[in-house]
Amino acid sequence: MPPYSLADLDFDLRRALPPAEIWVGSGTGTVAPLPATVCGVGGWFAPPYAAPDSRLTISLDVDGRRITDGGPPGAGDRGILAAGGSWRPDRLVRDGTYHQYGDGELVSLAVRSTLTPRHGRPGYILAISVRNRTDRQLRLTVHPELSSTRTRHVPLSEWGWVPPGPGTDGDAVTVVDSGLSTTLDPGGEATVTLGVQAEGKIGDPAPDGENTTRQWEDRVAQALGRVPVLSTDIPGLEQYYRRSLVSGLVCWWDDPSFVTTPFIATSGLDGGALCAYAWDTGGYAPNLLSLMLGDRVVDLIESMLQADLTDHYAIAPDGTGLGVAYAYSGWSLVALCRAAAAERPLDSKLIRRMYDAQLSLDERFPPDHQTGVLRDYGDQHNLLEMRGAGWEHVVASPNAERAWSLETLAELAEASGASLPVAELRESAQRIRDEVIRQLWDDESGWFRSRHPDGHTELAYSIQAFDALRAGACPPAIAATLIKQIRPGAFLGDYGVSSVSAEDEQHYETGDIDWSGAGAYTGEAPQLALTLWERGESELAWDVLRRVLWMGDHYPYFPQDHYCDKPGAPASGRRANVIAGLTGAEAILTGLAGLQPRPDGSLLIRPQPVAAGTVELRGLVYRGRTIDIVIAPDRYQVTVDGRSLNPGPDGHVLAVLPRSADQLG
């Protein structure tokens, strides 16, 4: 039996916070409900088809009385009234009620719509169930009205950050039905099924809906088959973990026309960012993504390497490079390579190509004017996309990540036999770390400066400084100084972390929460917690992570960014979902539970108990071993294939031996 079923991933829509437009995907297409309706349907996408302006509205005729759906607010008869519902990966269920007297007679109906995107065909299925709550027979007719729009045909190479707009060059949108009229006996119920699709791509609505569910069942079994199930007595943690996993699942596309199957989009549910950014894909949850993809993670790495990272930050669904060079791309891909190498031996040629890509990206950015060791990573187009001058040009991060990448490439070369200059890579990495501190650390302020080409420097209190800490660039005293900034009123809010310290008057703002303050990109809070766990700062790490547990109760999947001083996210202008939502589960697995996969195939585990309660992770599958971890406030236990293992003197459990030991044994 798979560890998770679709029913385990249900979400109660009554708990949803903005962004209020909730999408549902099939793996080849997505669709959204029409806001403020029980049955209405809005835009949909099924590459290469885009129909963002398509609208399906519904009304009912009951014994000659017209009942609307989505009427204006106010008292009295306003049509079908929303009464909740549920989301799960394969469908969106909305409940409604109608209870009104007219002409001396009561009409009382329970209405339920089930919206399912088609898999393998453009369009969706809408099933409308109506139950008669009166004691007399009712004659029912469902009236669908489809807007007179056409699809837009958008080549796969053009699906970038911005969702495609409407157009008139594609197929007409049509609707088919299973019959619109019926008689409802007292207490009786009937279902009308509608199929909306591009003309010429006609399917059978009911079987198409069942096919989508089957595809999702297979996807969940494949993607989560080796991922452990979490149970705990800590309020909110289990839901947060599950919703984090779902955030990865809804980025999973299995259209055979895409460059890889599956294709892991950065976002995609709302038609935007149906492309794969190297930074998001490899930089936030590489170990978890490797678990979910299995051997197919290598295909993802290959597809990224085939694009020219010196000119592009992402690949479109067909593998075409998009955008400008991004400063973090090399580090992100090396991180994904390291995670992939832990579970399977990587070909030495792949490691060499990764090395060549890292060097090419380094050469894309000019050396600094002092020693030539650090790199000038350009302005906001290549970095964080803040709206003011700040963390730009010669910066601690990603220069520190570049050092980590070179060190890791040396490690990967030793594991794979790739003929790389291992000693030289390690020496270069150390020089970079030394120069990050010598050139950019400011003792007086206790923070890193960023230096512009004209010599001007900025003290931008960006959360990116903690990535330099994670990359190993900070000696103990500097690390301690940085960590002191992780406090309420600076980087910590009641509901998360701020991408810029609230104490930074020059750079903090509330309009661009992604990277400029008042909130952060969704992967940042759990990654900060992970950084602290990796340094043994368990209490502070938990203090950071607990601040975002509310998200598991209020989102079916995590949005691009969210506020830190209030629960919620911007209602518009951002992507509805993001692959970095996986970072929450990554932080729990590799931080709290202390999983440490190594390129030699070994797995060390060093859990870090929290006073808040007990956490159990059962069913982790790593290189064919099944691992269970129990973490109580005062102890932990690691079991491999049913056998309990004792920790070594340093607290680590060697759960899986290196591949070389397997070969010897």
Band (664; pLDDT cuts 50, 70, 90): low
Tens-digit pLDDT profile for residues 502-522: 999 999 999 999 999 999 999
Is the predicted pLDDT of residue 14 greater than 80, yes or no?
yes
Band (24; pLDDT cuts 50, 70, 90): very high
User: How many other CB atoms are found less than 10 A from the CB of residue 489?
Assistant: 10
Q: Output the pLDDT for position 663.
A: 60
Max CA distance (Å), the chain:
90
Q: Output the pLDDT for position 203.
A: 72
Read off the tokens for 378: 């350009």
**Is the CB of residue 341 less than 8 Å from the CB of residue 658?**
no
User: How many other CB atoms are found less than 10 A from the CB of residue 145?
Assistant: 12
User: How many other CB atoms are found less than 10 A from the CB of residue 102?
Assistant: 12
Band (168; pLDDT cuts 50, 70, 90): confident
* pLDDT, averaged across the chain: 95
Query: Averaged over 269-292, what is the pLDDT?
Result: 95
Tens-digit pLDDT profile for residues 87-115: 999 999 999 999 999 888 999 999 999 99
Read off the tokens for 433: 């770390």
Q: At what angle do helices 348-364 and 396-416 cross, to 10 degrees?
A: 160
Q: At what angle do helices 524-534 and 538-546 cross, to 10 degrees?
A: 170
Q: Output the pLDDT for position 309.
A: 81
Instruction: Report the C-alpha gap between 346 and 52 in whole angstroms.
Output: 42
Query: Averaged over 588-607, what is the pLDDT?
Result: 98
Q: Cβ contacts of residue 244 below 8 Å, gap of 6+?
A: 526, 552, 558, 581, 582, 583, 584, 585, 588
Radius of gyration of the chain (CA): 26
Q: Which of 529, 523, 497 is nearest to 581 (CA)?
A: 523
CA of 575: how far to CAs of 47, 191, 418, 463, in Å? 17, 34, 39, 21
Least confident of 215-219, 387-391, 597-601: 387-391
Q: Which of 542, 531, 394 is nearest to 474 (CA)?
A: 531
Tens-digit pLDDT profile for residues 142-159: 999 999 889 999 999 999
Query: Averaged over 284-304, what is the pLDDT?
Result: 96
Instruction: Report the C-alpha gap between 467 and 473 in whole angstroms.
Output: 9
Is the predicted pLDDT of residue 562 greater than 70, yes or no?
yes
Q: Beta strand 603-605 with 595-597: parallel, antiparallel or unpaired?
A: antiparallel
Enter the pTM of the model.
Answer: 0.96
Q: Tell me the three state secondary structure of residue 655.
A: strand
Band (417; pLDDT cuts 50, 70, 90): very high
Q: Output the pLDDT for position 20.
A: 61
Is the predicted pLDDT of residue 202 greater than 80, yes or no?
no
Q: Which of 325, 463, 458 is nearest to 389 (CA)?
A: 458
Q: Output the pLDDT for position 470.
A: 96
Q: Output the pLDDT for position 21.
A: 77
**Is the CB of residue 628 less than 8 Å from the CB of residue 618?**
yes
Band (455; pLDDT cuts 50, 70, 90): very high
Is the predicted pLDDT of residue 2 greater than 90, yes or no?
no
